């Protein structure tokens, strides 16, 4: 499926990335439209997380180019790099928090780096309101070890959002969250989407995908398998695309049954007929190496 995109916020052009002697991305060209929520899907080991980190500038491709609003990341000056990092944030699949620092320190870190002129009272208020927005009301003086895995994930999301970024990258943001926390994060992502923010999201949770994604990108064996509007991709009759969507829907349906749920507004898509199975950011720059 072709990828059409006017005003791309991020674009990959013929990107190939090699790790450990293997091509984890192979000649990938895809554009992510400004102000749009795009979900990146794929089986385990498909290269979807590598694509996200490459798009965010956390992984440097071996060939090809990554562009931010038309300018190559590789050609950025220090000022341009700083601008890019101040406008983007990354949520790692693991929380990637500073274990020896407080929750307050972790959330405030992007503000310290990119808005050093902010006063202490303003920083404290921004940290508090961002944490509360995600439903975290525990002590900010705690350290990550004092929190559950789900709470740590909420803190990592709060850290990514504290700068009010224009572009947010999220790698499996639902992992480790209970249903209440997932709902809160979904509501925050809904508000970002309504505000015209650009969101790039790696997830295999079709409930999330159905609720917030405008566009889908499917990665298979390091290659771009499909990209386009949500409705077009989920209705695709291309065997590998239809098969992946069917598997993800079935996995989501099993999860719903195991919770004894009859209906969910976030997973309406699961009741649709399934296609036949045929076939360095503001929130993560300082800890980028720790999360990869």
Does the pLDDT at position 267 exceed 60? no
CB 140 within 8 A of CB 131: yes
* pLDDT confidence of residue 251: 61
| Matching residue, tokens 């006017």 | 6
CB 140 within 8 A of CB 261: no
What rounded mean pLDDT belongs to the chain? Answer: 82
Structure tokens at 41: 């899907």
Chain segment 78-133, per-residue pLDDT in tens: 999 999 999 999 999 888 899 999 999 999 999 999 999 999 999 999 999 999 99
Q: Where are the alpha helices (DSSP H) in 9-148?
A: 48-55, 78-87, 103-114, 120-133
8-278 to CATH, choices 3.40.50.300, 3.40.50.2020, 3.60.40.10, 3.40.50.2000: 3.40.50.300
- Which of 273 and 11 is assigned the larger pLDDT? 11
CB 110 within 8 A of CB 89: yes
Chain segment 182-228, per-residue pLDDT in tens: 888 889 999 999 999 999 999 888 888 888 899 999 999 999 999 99
Buried b (16+ CB within 10 A) or exposed e, 262-275: eebebbebbeeebb
* pLDDT confidence of residue 281: 38
Chain segment 119-168, per-residue pLDDT in tens: 999 999 999 999 999 988 778 999 999 998 888 999 999 999 999 999 99
């Amino acid at each position: 499926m072709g990828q059409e995109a006017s005003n791309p916020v991020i674009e990959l052009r013929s990107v190939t990335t090699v790790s450990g002697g293997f091509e984890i991305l192979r000649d990938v060209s895809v554009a992510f439209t400004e102000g749009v929520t795009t979900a990146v899907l794929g089986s385990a080991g498909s290269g979807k997380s590598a694509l996200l980190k490459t798009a965010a500038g956390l992984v440097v491709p071996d060939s090809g180019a990554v562009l931010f609003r038309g300018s190559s990341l590789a050609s950025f000056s220090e000022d341009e790099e700083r601008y890019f990092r101040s406008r983007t944030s990354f949520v790692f699949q693991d929380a990637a928090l500073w274990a020896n620092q407080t929750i307050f320190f972790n959330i405030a870190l992007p503000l310290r780096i990119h808005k050093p002129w902010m006063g202490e009272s303003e920083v404290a208020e921004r940290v508090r309101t961002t944490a509360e927005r995600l439903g975290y009301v525990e002590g900010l003086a705690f350290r990550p070890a004092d929190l559950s895995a789900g709470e740590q994930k909420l803190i990592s999301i709060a850290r990514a959002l504290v700068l009010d970024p224009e572009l947010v990258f999220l790698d499996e943001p639902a992992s480790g969250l209970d249903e209440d926390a997932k709902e809160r994060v979904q509501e925050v992502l809904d508000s970002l989407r309504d505000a015209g923010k650009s969101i790039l999201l790696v997830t295999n949770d079709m409930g999330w995908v159905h609720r917030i994604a405008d566009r889908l990108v499917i990665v298979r064996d390091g290659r771009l398998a499909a990209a386009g509007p949500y409705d077009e991709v989920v209705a695709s009759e291309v065997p590998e695309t239809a098969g992946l969507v069917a598997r993800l829907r079935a996995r989501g349906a099993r999860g719903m049954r195991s919770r004894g749920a009859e209906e969910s507004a976030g997973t309406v898509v699961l009741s649709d007929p399934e296609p036949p199975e045929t076939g360095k950011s503001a929130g993560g720059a300082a800890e980028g190496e720790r999360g990869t």
